[in-house]
Amino acid sequence: MGFTRRGFIKTLGVVGAGTIAAPQPGRASSDSPHGNRDNDVGVLVDVTKCIGCRRCEFACQEAAGFNPADIDSFEDKSAFNTPRRPYPRSHTVINRYAHHEGGGPVYAKFNCLHCLDPACYSACLVTAFSKQPNGPVVYDPSRCMGCRYCMVACPFEIPTYDYDDPLTPQVRKCNFCAHLVPEHQALPACVKICPAEVMLYGKRSELLELAHERIRSQPGVYVDHVYGEHEAGGTSWLWISGVPFEQIGFHKVDAKAPPRLTEAIQHGVFKHFLPPLMWYGLLGAAMWLTRPQPTGDAAEHGGAPETGEARS
């Protein structure tokens, strides 16, 4: 039986799937390389308490050294006309959403969630991101080469890029006030300034217990979901809400940490460097089999047709 292109492609798929899916020794795919995270610090955000004052936006910009406008300017409610995401000069934003059941508006805070197993750290080729022992995921611009893989990898779409600075552009995101806590203040800037006590700062494990206790004790107030408990393998920032999170701009994210999937594929493909060589060989064969075939006069002469100038 002749070797057909269809048969080759089928073989390519089987071999590729076997290469990626083959069991690999070492760390279990569900385990984080960052060790036990029981003592990580975290923040519990109670969406039901937020009044939309945006003082956390001011404090965040000030703590990051961005020289924000006067704090009174953050009372401008026109900022709520369009849903926003964190941007290079504001690492946290507040959005306003209409209550789908006819209640008052709902305000939701968005910033880096500081994943327990961060995808930005895993995707970075030059270790510009690091996971600190107590939880914060921080960024070192001196190491960054500007590939922005972290932006693609983040399941929450948080990192942004400072395109306005052509000489020294940087990836921007909340660093959990790691440059301030605990040396200069007891709380992250946004937590410290909040007048409605929307946020609680403490040990993540204790905040989770508190979150579930609030949900159990007030089932008519909160939906039964702590956002960040399981999303993307778990995050240091946690939210509880009175409305489903998908109604207030939160992404629906799988519980499996993205690095546990992508690294399993990478390790399967690059083990002993043999699979890449095999892949290159198979791809080269695919290119040869799918090359353009000569037709007409070219087929009779065994090659491409001559140009009009060369033919008599």
* CA 239 to each of CA 8, 46, 231, 262: distance values in angstroms, whole numbers, following the listed order: 50, 6, 11, 27
Q: Is the dihedral of CA 183, 184, 186, 188 positive or negative?
A: negative
| Average pLDDT by stretches of 10, the chain with 312 residues | 47 43 37 69 97 97 95 95 95 92 89 96 94 93 93 96 87 92 76 97 96 97 97 97 96 91 58 60 76 62 48 42
Pair 109, 45: CB distance under 8 Å: yes
User: Of all residues in the chain, what percent are helix, strand and coil, respectively (each to 5)?
Assistant: 35, 15, 50
pLDDT computed for residue 202 by the predictor: 95
Domains of the chain: 41-118+171-255 (3.30.70.20)
pLDDT computed for residue 197 by the predictor: 95
At 209, the amino acid letter reads E
At 216, the amino acid letter reads R
pTM above 0.85, yes or no: no
Structure tokens at 256: 């499996």
Q: Helix, strand, or coil here: 107?
A: strand
* CA 141 to each of CA 152, 157, 172: distance values in angstroms, whole numbers, following the listed order: 18, 19, 9
d(CA 237, CA 253): 14
pLDDT computed for residue 151 by the predictor: 95
Structure tokens at 35: 């060790």
**How would you classify residue 26: left for phi > 0, otherwise alpha for psi between -120 and 50, otherwise beta?**
left
* CA 154 to each of CA 42, 251, 269, 275: distance values in angstroms, whole numbers, following the listed order: 19, 11, 22, 28
